[in-house]
């Protein structure tokens, strides 16, 4: 009987030892497994950078359907590709309305938002903003497009009193309209500039706030519109990209890449290539 009990006790001790060894092995595995502590590490671990954009604004971001399936293209997309490649990952593009991009960044649905963002304090509070790119020319300004026959009559902000003005929802232009035009202006946000232009041309709106560089392309496509003499009080300083607040490692890594892009003049090159592609596809730029 004692012999049997001894055998059973030995077996229990052996099982316990093996279980302890297995437990220690698990803890070692868990201890050696590297966990991603920030967004930059998560991106590298997943092997992809998720970009949110509104692909309705050539040459910055638009869709090429020539291959039979939609492909996201444009200077902003090329920038995102360059950032992804520099980080050693692939790019994934998520299309969404312009006004939804900031919220997607904040919620972590996307890693980075690139869609013609201008710097403003409100965005800086909501997101980590990168260094500027797409600086533009000294002649660039913010103004209002309207029917050419009426453009000469709008020389001051007071001339827009009581008029209906549109701008892309959540854009810099919307902020300029709301802050600088008379309070009795009837403002209406639109999803895209193409919607706004159609409203102006059909008489459903008196003017659309827009960047002068984009206005040039729009006026080329629609000869019946022109820029008003009035200009907003704004100095163009280029565009920024946005990442989730607090992700300083990610924004610092992206800033190093943007500095390289600016030094090499790559964004201007991508813009010219995107303009050529848009013209080839018959896509009207600035929308």
In this predicted model, what pLDDT tens digit does every residue of 131-158 receive, in sequence order?
999 986 667 899 999 999 999 999 999 9
**With 80 as the cut, is the pLDDT of residue 31 above it?**
no
C-alpha dist (Å) from residue 19 to 13, 30, 282: 10, 17, 69
pLDDT mean over 238-248: 96
DSSP E strand stretches across 65-171: 71-73, 90-95, 112-118, 127-129, 142-147, 164-168
How far apart CA 29 and CA 285 sit, in angstroms, is 54
**With 60 as the cut, is the pLDDT of residue 264 above it?**
yes
pLDDT band for position 34 (cuts 50, 70, 90): low
For CA atoms 182, 140, 210, 242, the dihedral sign is negative
pLDDT band for position 226 (cuts 50, 70, 90): very high
pLDDT band for position 3 (cuts 50, 70, 90): very low
**pLDDT (tens digit, 9 = 90+) per residue, 109-136?**
999 999 999 998 999 999 999 999 998 6
How far apart CA 151 and CA 226 sit, in angstroms, is 6
Record the tokens describing residue 198, joined without a space.
Answer: 């159609």
Per the model's pLDDT, the better-predicted residue between 153 and 36 turns out to be: 153
Closest CA to 131 of 243, 273, 233, 272: 243
User: How does the average pLDDT of the chain come out, rounded?
Assistant: 88
Per the model's pLDDT, the better-predicted residue between 52 and 214 turns out to be: 52
Phi, psi of 231 (to 5 degrees): -130, 140
Q: Which residues are CB-neighbours of 231 under 8 A, at least 6 positions away?
A: 141, 142, 143
What is the structure's pLDDT at 263? 94
């Amino acid at each position: 009987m004692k012999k049997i009990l001894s055998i059973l006790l030995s077996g229990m001790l052996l099982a316990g030892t093996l279980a302890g060894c297995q437990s220690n092995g698990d803890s070692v595995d868990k201890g050696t497994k590297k966990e991603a502590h920030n967004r930059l590490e998560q991106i590298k671990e997943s092997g992809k950078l998720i970009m949110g954009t509104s692909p309705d604004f050539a040459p910055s971001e638009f869709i090429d359907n020539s291959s039979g399936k939609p492909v996201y293209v444009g200077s902003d997309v090329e920038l995102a590709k360059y950032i992804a490649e520099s980080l050693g990952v692939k790019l994934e593009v998520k299309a969404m309305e312009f006004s939804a991009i900031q919220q997607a960044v904040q919620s972590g649905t996307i890693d980075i938002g690139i869609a013609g963002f201008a710097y403003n304090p409100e965005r800086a509070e909501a997101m980590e903003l990168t260094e500027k790119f797409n600086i533009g020319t000294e002649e660039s300004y913010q103004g209002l497009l309207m029917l050419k026959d009426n453009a000469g009559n709008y020389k001051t902000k007071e001339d827009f009193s009581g008029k209906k003005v549109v701008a892309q929802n959540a854009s810099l232009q919307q902020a300029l309209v709301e802050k600088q035009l008379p309070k009795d202006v009837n403002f209406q946000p639109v999803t895209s500039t193409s919607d706004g232009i159609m409203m102006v041309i059909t008489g459903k709106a008196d003017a659309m706030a827009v960047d002068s560089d984009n206005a040039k392309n729009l006026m080329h496509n629609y000869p019946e519109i022109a820029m008003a003499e009035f200009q907003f009080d704004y100095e163009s300083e280029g565009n920024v990209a946005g990442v989730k607040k607090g992700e300083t490692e990610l924004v610092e890594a992206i800033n190093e890449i943007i500095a390289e892009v600016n030094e090499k003049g790559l964004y201007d090159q991508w813009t010219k290539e995107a303009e050529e592609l848009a013209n080839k596809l018959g896509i009207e730029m600035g929308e």
